[in-house]
Each structure stands twice: as structure tokens, then as C-alpha cells.
Structure 1
Amino acid sequence: MHDHLRDLGWEIANKHRPYQIWLPQQIINFEKQTKEEPTPDISRNFLSLTPYLVGLNLLEIVGVYFSQIIHEISRNLVWLHWSDIGQRNLPAQLSLESLRVLHLDEIYKNIPVWEDHLEELWEAESDAPVQLRELVISNCYNFQKIPNSIGCLIELKKIAITGSILRSLPEEICHLQLLEHLILSGCRMLSSLPNSFGDLANLQYLDLSGCFNLKRLPDSFKNLMLLEYLKLRGCVHLILRSDDFQNITKLEFLDLSWCIQLEELPHHVTNQVFLREFYLDGLNRLREIKIGQLSRLQTMVIRSELLISLPNSLGDSVSLKNLSLSNCYNLKSLPTSLENLSSLTSLSISTCDSLKSLPNSFGNFFSLAHLSIGHCDSLKSLPASLHLVIFNCPISQVDLRRRLHLLR
């Protein structure tokens, strides 16, 4: 968003000085107490703003009722952030033809119970803001439909819709060849993606976390060849197929946490050579993990009740800095290849009930700054190579107790 604002500011500044309106506090906080028109005093306050609306470029409003002057708002408006709109869609009288950035959100405590909530964007397909670059809709829990005319917004680079009851995406959204960021987190009713989803050739960032009802990815998904960030956390009904990632090779961030239907990792997931962060939390059906040489991997989180072992190839992740293992109840040992993880700075092992020993190579973690081991009931001792020597240092016992948490 900040990049868009910066670019927007430069563009406007090159043409003319932008106008801004700082509404009086009594207008900013104004809420209708009935469905009738505002009182005369309030109306006069709104009407007094009319001269300033002619060249307006940037506008941020919070729950302000201004139907009497909305038709006066400049056709040059390029940035609009409207909180608590109190209507089912954007007013038809509002000119959107020059709009580049549109943010809509709701804070329910600010909306009287008799007001409407945002359900759609623009009422008529012809009202679509064809120059829009960024669309953000957050916490609009009644929002349920993206118009088909979204496909006409060929300049769009970012769409973020969070916390809505959106059930589907129109096929036309796949026409957006410049789209780089797509965020649909918390859209718990979303059950599918368009068949042509893989046509989003420039998509780099995709967040589908919390899409509880999403059951599968379309066949074309594997064609998102520029995808770098993928978050599927909490897609509890999603079933991944072996070829879903077939042509995807540039992933740097992958979160499959709480995709509880996952019993094995798709082959093409485990060979993402550019991968830096890999999250496998809450995969309680996963029995084994097979990975290739993830030499750029820096963070890995694993939590699986049925996991029996870790792959020896994990030791090839020479850039790994953070490793977390938790609730791996059936994990009995760690691979000796972990001694190659010379960059490891943080290691956390918790509730691995069957883990009986740690590799003697643990003493080779010269970069290790944080070691946490807890609730590993079968672990009786630490390897001899792991030791702490402190002598001739004025370190108080209180400070030692604070820094060293030893479990009995």
C-alpha cells in the first residue's frame, strides 16, 4: 500500500498540488440516529465543503453520511479509503473513473444496527473503476460477490479481501494479467477457484489462509510459474494432488499448516530450491517428510502426531537458522545429518514423547543461540558434545537461573 501511495503522490505532484479535506471532528464522528436526512445544521456543514471537492484527489472517511454532496466529489479522485460505509454497495453517484486505490472496511461498533453492510462493490457493471490498481476489502463480513466487471480492471496489481462470506470468484478475474498480489484470507465460505486460475501469469503472492471450505485447487493452478509466496494455512478440507505444483519452481514461502487432509507432501512441493520458509504445523496425518536439497531454507516448523522420522536430506539445508519440532509423538530420533546445520541459531523441540536421544553432533551447532527442549518424557540425557562451561566470570546465580530453564 505504501508503494502505491508513494507512486500516486509522485503522479499527482507532477500534475498539480493535491487537495485534501480535513473534516471537522463533529462531522467525522457523525452517525445518523434515524433513517431520515441529517439535521439542517449538519447539512449546512456538509454543503460548506462543496467548494473544496472540485479538485479532490485523496479522501478518507469514517462512517460519514454525505449523500447531499457525493455528486460533487471530483472526477479526479484517485485514492479512497471508506470505513463503515453503511450501504450495500458504493453509491452510484460517486465518480470512480479516475480511482487508483480503493480501501473499504467495517468496524461494526461504528455502524448503527439499522444500517446496511457492504455486500457488493458497484451496482452497475458500467461503474467499474477501470484505472484501479489496488482493491482492499477487510472485515466486511457480509461481502459476498465480486462483479464480473472485475475482469475489465486490467491495471489491477493487488486484490485483498479478508473476513468475508465470499463463496466464489468470477472467471473474469483470471483476465487480470498484471495481478501480483491476491489475498483471500478468512473467506471461510470460498469453496473453489476459477478453472482458469492459472492464467494469472504474473501472480507472485497468494494467501488463501482460513478458506475452510476450499476443497481442491484447479488443474491450471500448476501454471502459476512466478508464484513466490503461498499460504494455505487452515484450509482444513483442501486435498492437494501430486501435480498441483508441477510447474511452480520459484516458491520462497510455503505454509501448509493445518491442511489436515494432507497425508503426504506432493513431490513438487519438496523440491522448491528457492524455498526460505516452510511451515508444516498441525499436519497430524503426515507420517513422513521427503524433501530435496533445500539449500536456501532458513525456517522450518513441523508438527505432526504420526511423523515417525525426519529425512537425512534435512542436513543439506545448510542455510537453516530456525527449526521447530512439536507434538511429534512418534518421532524416536533425529538424523545425524543435522550436524551439517552450521547456521542453526534456534532449535525448539517440544512434546516429542518418544524421542529418547539427541545426536552426539549437537555440539557442532556453533551458531546456536536459542535451545528449547520441553515435555519430551523419554529424553533422559543430553549428548556429551553439548556442554556449557562458565568460569571466572562475575555472573550471578540469579542471572543464570533466568537464562537457563532446566526441566526436571
Structure 2
Amino acid sequence: MFGERFYDCNIGQIFNNVHLRVLYLRGVNLIALPESICKLKHLRYLNLSRSSIEVLCESIIYLQNLQMLLLNDCKRLEKLPRGLRYLRNLQRLDITDCISLSHLPRGIKELSSLRTLSMFPLNKSVYPFLNKSVAKIGELGSLNLLEGNLKIAGLENVGGLSEAKSANLKCKTNLSVLVLNWSKTDFSSRIQQMFTHDEEVLEGLEPTSSLKELRIWDYRGKIISPSWMLNLKNLVEIEFYWCKKCEHIPALPRLPNLRVIVLRCMDSLKCFHDDHTNMFGNTTTMFPCLQKLDILNCPVLNSLPSHLPKLEVLSLDCCKKLVSLPDEIQSLNFMKTLKIRGCKHLRKRYDKEIGVDWHKISHIPNVRIRPYGEVDDDEEDEEKIDEIDK
């Protein structure tokens, strides 16, 4: 179904070893765990990553000493045990890339020892009576020991500001990477869009000020401008992906430690900020630490920011309205790589040795200017990896 490769293993005898503490079944060809796993009372570590597992049996709740449950890349896994909340010693639940997992069971908030929860899916069941057993975003509110990466998916199912605030992300001071993911829009969800409150929900999802990376995917509002954005003084990287209706992005220049900006598939984005409001005042302070600016498929973007003194990598792909690069690019001493593809105006203007402005970029060690559809082998590999990640 997904093209995975699994190995076969006769695990029947394993469950007779009642003193087992570590069980590593990564990549095993196994649809479901036998109910007899409940015999492993001393088990602390269970790794089923990249396996063909589809469901975890309810008897797993008897593993009261279990601390780590690793299920990352189990693409066929559809649900977790309803009694998951009884695993009170569980510290790590890794469900990264479990693409068939639509929700978490109700009661996840009772896992008071949980430190790692890679994903919190919020997709509602097509059967309303089943939604009573589904964890809502408010269950995140008490899980303040969470650290590392957290992705919240299905945010179109959050009702508004107060419900979003109940996640209490601001108090999760050990989180370093946060992904806020709405679902891609299709024909069947157009009616639902009339009742969504994306801007309110985003405002309510205020993260900890110590956050290092923020990614916003598939957001459907016209403006990304939550009041808390300027509080992210420690933010190093930010990414906006598939925010099709967004016309403006927030006041990123005011984030003093920002080093990476990634913009992908932003159909309506015209500029980095509203020039008419003059919101930044002295532009010489803009992006003092930015090292990488990566922009892909922003067809109406018509300008790039200036004053990027530390910029090292600039990548522009399918930005058809861009007619020029900032004039200061010829004086950027840290520039190492400039990639331009599918930008016809830029390609003509900066074509090697014959373009009218080639002299402005000729000092950059690695310059690649190509038409749409032409890629290097390494770029093609990167694009495949990006597509898989999404």
C-alpha cells in the first residue's frame, strides 16, 4: 500500500520472557500486537517504528512500567488504545508520520509524566457519536512537561479563540519546535470553511517565548499577524507553507535572532509587510541575523526585503512577479549561494555575463540560474525529501 519493506518475525515466544525490559520491533511485519503482551509487566521500552502495525491492542495498558512507546513512521496505524491514559509512567510517545492516525484517545491529559508527544491530531470522526472518545485540544493544557517537537494537526476543527487558548502552549517552556497545521482544503470542506475561525485560533495558540522554530502549514486566513509573534525573541527559524490566502506575513524583522525564513506555496503573498503602514520605521535594523531566505512558488510576490547583512543563502523558485533582487546584494560579504529557478525576469536580468545586472551577483561563489523544470541532482533529491516531509 505504501511501498514499505517489513521483515517477518515469530514473536510468540517473546512474551514468555516476563522480565523483558526492552522490546525492539522496528520494521516488523505485524498488523496487531498479541493481547499476551500484557505479560511483559517490566517492559519500559517498546519500539514499533516503521512497522506495518494497524492497531495497538487494549491490553497494552497493563504495561504500567512502560516509559517509551515509539511508533514513528507507522503509516498504517489507525488508532491508539482507548485506555492509553492508564500508562501513567509513559514519558515518550512518538507518533511522527503516522499519517493514518486521525486522533488521540480521550484522557491523554492524564499522562502527567509525558515529555515527548510528537503529534496531536485533531481530525473529527465522520460519525459524531465517536467524537466523545476523541481528545480535544484542551487536553494539551495540562501537559506542561512536553519538550522538543510538537505538531498540532487538524486545527480547522478548533472552535475559536478560547478553545485554542486551552492548549496552554505558552506554559510549555521546554518546547523548541512547534508546527501548527490546518488541513488542506478540498471540495468537500468548502462548507466547513464558512464556520472556521483561523485567525482567532492562531491568536489563541500563543507558544512559549523560548521557542526556536515555528512552522505554520495550510493556514487559510488572509493575514498572519497574531499579537504574540513579536514575543518570540528566541525564534531562529520560521516557515509558512501552503497558506494560500495569506497576503501579508507578520513583522518578522523585529525578531532579533531569526536566521531562516522559508515561504512555500503562498499564492496571494505580495510582499513581506504592508509598505503603506510603514510599520518598521528604521529599515536599517531589518533582519540583522538572517542567513537563509528560501522562497518557493509565490507567484505574486513582487519584492524582497533589503538590509540583510548576514545573508548567506538566497533561493527563489517560481516567483514570476519578481523583477529584481535588492540592490544591496552586491555588497553582501557573507553570500555563498544564490539559486534562481522559474523566475523569467530574474533569469534574464542576472544571466551569467550577459545579464544587465550580472555584475551585482558575480562575486557570489555558487550561483545557479535555471528555467522551470531544470534541476541539479542534489536539488531533485531535496525536493523529494521535502514532499515526503509534508
Coarse TM-score class (shorter-chain normalised)? 0.5 to 0.7
Q: Distance in 2 between matches of 1:185 and 1:271?
A: 20
- How far has the Cα of 1:266 moved from its partner? 3.0
* 2: CA distance, partners of 1:310 / 1:295: 17
Task: Pick one of 168, 184, 195 that aligns with 1:246.
Answer: 168
In structure 2, relative to structure 1, the CA distance for the partners of 1:300 and 1:374 (3 Å cut) is same
Distance 1:275 1:401, change over 3 A: closer
State yes or no: 1:195 paired with 2:118: no
Which of 266, 277, 280 is residue 202 of structure 2 equivalent to? Answer: 266
Query: Contact conserved, 2:300 with 2:319, CA < 8 A, in 1?
Result: yes
Shift of 1:370: 0.7
Report the equivalent of 1:384: 327
- In structure 2, what is the equivalent of residue 369 of structure 1? 312
Name the residue aligned to 1:185. 96
Alignment match, 1:310: 249
Match of 2:269 in 1: 331
Find the counterpart in structure 1 of residue 260 from structure 2. Answer: 322
Distance apart, 1:320 and its partner CA: 1.1
1:280 equivalent in alignment to 2:219: no
The one-character-per-residue Cα deviations of 1:362-395 (angstroms, maximum 9, x if unpaired) are 23x22211112332222222333332489xxxxx
Structure 1 vs Structure 2: percent identity of aligned residues? 21
Pairing 1:111-150 to 2, within 5 Å after superposition: 117-123=30-36, 125=38, 127=39, 129-148=40-59, 150=60
Instruction: Name 1:161's counterpart in structure 2.
Output: 71
Q: Secondary structure at the match of 2:25?
A: strand
Aligned pair partner of 2:141 in 192, 199, 222: 222
* 2:367 corresponds to: 404
**Which of 252-261 and 131-140 deviates more?**
252-261
After TM superposition, the structure 1 = structure 2 runs for residues 15-26 of structure 1, keeping only pairs within 5 Å, are: none
Cα 1:94/1:382, change in 2 over 3 Å? closer
- Shift, 1:196, TM fit: 1.3
Supply the distance in 1 between the matched residues of 2:366 and 2:101 (Cα, whole angstroms).
46
- Please state which structure has a larger fraction of its residues in helix: 2
Give the total of aligned pairs: 301
- The SS at the match of 1:123 is helix
How far, CA to CA, are the matches of 1:232 and 1:104 in structure 2? 25
Distance 1:369 1:141 in 2: 42
Which structure would you say has the larger Rg?
1
- Cα distance change on mapping 1:385 and 1:374 into 2, 3 Å: same
What SS is found at the alignment partner of 1:404? Answer: strand
Deviation of 1:225 after TM superposition, in Å, equals: 1.0
Aligned with residue 256 of structure 1, among 176, 180, 184 = 180
Contact 1:144 1:164 in 2 (8 A): no
Cα distance, 1:286 vs structure 2? 3.5
RMSD: 3.5
Whether the aligned pair in 1 keeps the contact of 2:238 and 2:260 (CA below 8 Å) is: yes
CA distance in 2, matches of 1:389, 1:104: 51
> Which residue matches 1:35?
none
- Does residue 61 of structure 2 align to residue 151 of structure 1? yes
Structure 1 counterpart of 2:168, one-letter code: Q
Gaps spanning 5+ residues in structure 1: where? 1-81, 109-116, 391-395
Q: Structure 2 counterpart of 1:184, which letter?
A: I
Which of 86, 103, 117 pairs up with 1:175? Answer: 86
Q: TM-score, normalised by structure 2?
A: 0.66
CA distance in 1, matches of 2:223, 2:332: 37
1:348 to 289, 294, 303: 294
Alpha-carbon distance between aligned partners in 1 of 2:262 and 2:70, rounded to the nearest angstrom: 30
Unaligned runs of 5+ in 2: 1-5, 126-130, 186-195, 274-278, 334-351, 354-361, 372-390
Q: Give, as a single letter, the amino acid of the residue that structure 2 aligns with 1:84.
A: D
Q: 2: distance between equivalents of 1:230 and 1:134?
A: 20
Change (3 A) 1:197 1:211: closer
C-alpha distance in 1, partners of 2:212/2:235? 4
